[in-house]
A and B are shown apart, each in its own frame.
Chain A
Amino acid sequence: MRHVFSVRIGPVGFRVGSTWRTPIEQLEALYANYPRPEVPDFSVRLFPARPWRQFIRPSVTIGGDFMLPDALPLPLAQGLLAAEMGMNLQMALGQRRYLLLHASVVERDGKALLMSGISGAGKSTLSALLSARGWRFMGDEFALIDPETGLLHAFPRLVSLKNAAIDVVTNALPDARFGPLLAGTPKGDIRHLVPDASAVAAMDTPVPPALLLFPSYGFEADERLVPLSEVFVRLTQASTNYVALGERGFDALARLVKTVPARAIDYPDTDSAVKQIEKLWAAL
């Protein structure tokens, strides 16, 4: 591939090859403070579906070691998003070392808080806002649980902020670095936030999980205990590789569910959510 970029995010190395220069330049700028892998775990490829689509209405197909047969190409202006989606895809389809949960993770006092929920629940936004208040950002897409130790490994890739969350986080983190605004993507407007230096510096330090939250946005502030059975089922649905890991996946998930308290919280706005979360954390 003509243009190549490599990066190690937490314990996982990627190489991204691209027909075009632009997405690689953007990755180089945004991941400037990250280490490079020796031999990457996964390869991602960005290429035109047909040769002429390199130049005429350039459109980026996402490929790699693991591919979805019907992935829709993105316009070149959204090439950075294509690269990020490509890396996520390798994890979702190819990761076999860690149990993956679709969740954001932040750390305080050597313990991790996991937030899992549907798209729009505020996982990314809340993890970014908490990082502005002294929590260590560990990831906004996947929680990586090591079945051998039960510890959470950080996977602090760029934080993917969508639509209204973009302004909320830009206001909360005025000094942070952001990627370009990607307007009109399949998921609406997207802007990437670069995790702060402490998130990258500490990314090789795994921590035990201490609290599991299922946030829901757009309701009166409320919280409830979630029964173990419901936690288990929710997390099997939130995992991309639970089935593929077989018994190791079951053991890792059962251990998490049995040892970590879980709460569902409803919140009307992010200020309220941050207060609710820090109150729950203090009461642990």
Chain B
Amino acid sequence: MGGVVSDGWLLARVLRTPGNALGLDAAGWTALIAIARAEQIIGTLASRLDGLKLPGDVARILDDARASAAQGQVAALWEVEMARRALAPLGEAVVLLKGSAFAAAGLRAGEGRSIGDLDILVPRARIDAVEAALLAAGWEWVKPNPYDDAYYRQWMHELPPLIHRDRDRMIDVHHTILPLTARITPDAVSLLASSVAVGPGVRMLAPNDVIVHAAAHLFADGDLAGGMRNLWDVHCLVDQFGTTGLDQRAAHHGLAKEVARSLRLAAALYGDGAKLTPGDHVYLRRLTARDSWGRPTRQVTRLGFYVRSHWLRMPPSMLAKHLWTKWRAKPD
């Protein structure tokens, strides 16, 4: 592994087989660190490479990344506890999504993972009560713009983001895992009913549903930003829990295609490979679009996926109206 290819594949190969990193020269390490930071996966990289004999500078940088991720998890789990306390009087357990769920449950996917906002899932019927309880406990609105606020409430799968006034941490309160405007409607009631306890008053989705959620987020909603990290999650979950019943579960939520694709791409990046479709190659091209400075590359491919994300999110006439409103509201 010289310094020839420096895109997301460099990161993927090292995450897959940490020993691959030992052949890197200084330029290769520099690129690897920049790409891992840009993909917000450097803590995971650091925990994968823990115990290997690394060059001095690299060992120090990765030690810091590991310590930083560990502290990040302490803070994230404290946010979980704060949310649990706020919602306990309602009789609602906190159902965790994404990073904080992995950390709370001590999953392999959580090792070294950076955790941003706290994402929770609540029954749609209780969303007003949950919102009121969080506001009473010190969370505040982030988006004062009335259009954005109304848009979230009418069409999104989550409340407009809230931020805590003392701790400066965001919480995203979801009532399902895809926007209401998307063509696919996952079974949110069943997501909650199948959730599993990870501690007193704290739950997370069942393993198969976690994979379904990751696939929904990647391939039926977003523009693939953070995709390398999301597929690492998928890879670790499959590794730890297997895929028994996953196909049926994915079909139940209407996400069979998306889940199958996420399994193929996770295997291509981090596992033993998979038989890829021509479309998969385009996804991989987008997912690994970074240069040796961590900069986004392949702008045309990126733009294509950005446009696609909006296309998936809402019907064309609504998209046109939304983009028109957003364009008119632009400050310059």
CB proximity to B under 8 Å, residues A220-245: 244-245
Is A110's CB within 8 Å of the partner chain B? no
Q: Do B293 and A1 touch (CB < 8 A)? A: yes
CB proximity to A under 8 Å, residues B278-308: 293-295
Q: Do A45 and B293 touch (CB < 8 A)? A: yes
Chain B residues with CB under 8 Å of A245's CB are 71
Q: Do B33 and A39 touch (CB < 8 A)? A: yes
Is A15's CB within 8 Å of the partner chain B? yes
Instruction: Choose one: A65, A96, A244; the contact of B294 (CB below 8 Å).
Output: A65
Instruction: Choose one: B26, B38, B65, B71; the contact of A38 (CB below 8 Å).
Output: B26
Chain B residues with CB under 8 Å of A97's CB are 60, 63-64
Contact A43 to B30, CB < 8 A, known contacts A38-B55, A96-B68, A246-B75: yes
What is the CA–CA distance of A245 and B68 in the complex, to the nearest angstrom? 7
Task: Produce 1/0 per residue, B50-64, CB < 8 A to A.
Answer: 000001111011011
Chain A residues with CB under 8 Å of B26's CB are 38-39
CB proximity to A under 8 Å, residues B19-52: 26, 29-30, 33-34, 37-38
Q: Do A246 and B74 touch (CB < 8 A)? A: yes
Q: Do A43 and B293 touch (CB < 8 A)? A: yes
In the complex formed, the residue of A with least CB distance to B28 is A39
Q: Do B75 and A41 touch (CB < 8 A)? A: no
What is the CA–CA distance of A236 and B63 in the complex, to the nearest angstrom? 24
In the complex formed, the residue of A with least CB distance to B59 is A39
Chain A residues with CB under 8 Å of B60's CB are 41, 97
Contact A39 to B71, CB < 8 A, known contacts A45-B293, A45-B295, A97-B64: no
In the complex formed, the residue of B with least CB distance to A241 is B68
Is A73's CB within 8 Å of the partner chain B? no
Q: Do B30 and A15 touch (CB < 8 A)? A: yes
A238 to chain B, nearest CB (A): 18
Task: Produce 1/0 per residue, A26-52, CB < 8 A to B.
Answer: 000000000001111101010000000
Chain B residues with CB under 8 Å of A261's CB are none
Q: Do A38 and B56 touch (CB < 8 A)? A: yes
Q: Do B57 and A37 touch (CB < 8 A)? A: yes
Q: Do B29 and A246 touch (CB < 8 A)? A: no
Chain B residues with CB under 8 Å of A65's CB are 34, 37-38, 294
What is the CA–CA distance of A45 and B65 in the complex, to the nearest angstrom? 21
Is A13's CB within 8 Å of the partner chain B? yes
B49 to chain A, nearest CB (A): 13
What is the CA–CA distance of A97 and B63 in the complex, to the nearest angstrom? 9
Q: Do B294 and A40 touch (CB < 8 A)? A: no
Is A17's CB within 8 Å of the partner chain B? yes
Q: What 7 A-B pairs have minimum CB-CB distances, sorted nearest first?
A: A39-B57, A246-B71, A96-B68, A96-B64, A65-B37, A39-B29, A38-B57
